[in-house]
Amino acid sequence: MPGDDRTIAMTSLLLACVYASLMGTASGQAAQNISSYSSTAEKDCRKIKDGSADDDGGTRVCPGPAGLVVVVSEGDLRETVSVGRNAKGASSEPAAKAWFGPFSSTTPTIEWRRAAKDKPPFAMIQRWHLADIEDEGKDGRPRTKQMFAVTRLVPGSICHVAYIDVTANPNAIDLAREAADTIARDFKCGTDRVKVMGVTGRAIELALPR
């Protein structure tokens, strides 16, 4: 019937408009998120545990935004990075146990994602360097492969939610911010799997369990 066709057409158009509006709102919310930065360099942090050997760098506590602290621990040439309201709380989070098989370290800059300047961050992004023993340089030492790790923050547990290979993805930092904005807040630590964003490269192969 002609009338029925017009009703169906109008209903479809209305649903399409509602969907477009919702998508636009979600995109707008993501676009409003901003970044701030802090340092985990030794000069900017307080050491709470000295290393006991050449390959044990000890533990340091670094200031973060909104009353958060960052705990960086190094043992057996592998780092872990966690966040909390205090050092004890940060050290008990899943992120404090999220170490990789290869020797690993991070750059000293953390990017924090937040909804506004006066809002606490909901995720952080850090660049990791993973040693690739199958790719030695002229000096005989393994070259490092780089990736971004996105970590979800409070409320809830602190854990890695996404990995992005820097070399394989020219837009790696954009993918990291997208993961922070769209995945981190709803990610369930201990249940959800860490998501690989973009093209999988050698750094991701080194990072993921075999």
The reported pLDDT for the residue numbered 12 is: 47
Same structural domain for residues 26 and 52?
no
Q: Is there a single domain that holds both residue 110 and residue 194?
A: yes
Verify that 120 and 16 share a domain, yes or no. no
Same domain (yes/no): 172, 81: yes
- Do 28 and 44 sit in the same domain of this protein? no
Are 8 and 74 found together in one domain?
no
- Residue with the bigger pLDDT between 122 and 52: it is 122
pLDDT of residue 170: 97
Query: Both 16 and 81 in a single domain?
Result: no
Give yes or no: residues 84 and 164 share one domain: yes
> 24 with 127, same domain?
no
Answer whether residue 107 shows pLDDT above 50: yes
pLDDT at 22 exceeding the cut of 50:
no
Segment 98-106 shows an average pLDDT of 95
Which whole number is the average pLDDT over 17-25? 44
Cβ atoms within 10 Å of 85's Cβ, excluding its own: 12
pLDDT attached to residue 183: 97
Q: Is the pLDDT of residue 25 over 70?
A: no
Least confident of 54-58, 89-93, 163-167, 187-191: 54-58
In the chain, the number of structural domains is 2
Q: What is the mean pLDDT of the chain?
A: 87
Q: Are residues 22 and 97 in the same domain?
A: no
Asked if 59 and 8 sit in the same domain, the reply is no
* Residue 138 confidence (pLDDT): 87
Residue 55 has pLDDT above 60, yes or no: no
- The single-letter DSSP state of residue 193 is P
pLDDT band of residue 49 (cuts 50, 70, 90) is confident
What's the domain range around 117? 35-207
Q: pLDDT band for position 119 (50/70/90)?
A: very high
> Residue range 57-79: average pLDDT?
94
User: How far apart (Å, rounded) are the C-alpha atoms in residues 179 and 170?
Assistant: 16
Burial label for 190, CB within 10 Å (0-12, 13-18, 19+), is exposed
Are residues 4 and 93 located together in one domain of the fold? no
Per-residue pLDDT at 23 exceeds 50: no
Distances 34 to 1, 29, 69, 118 between C-alpha atoms, Å: 52, 11, 20, 11
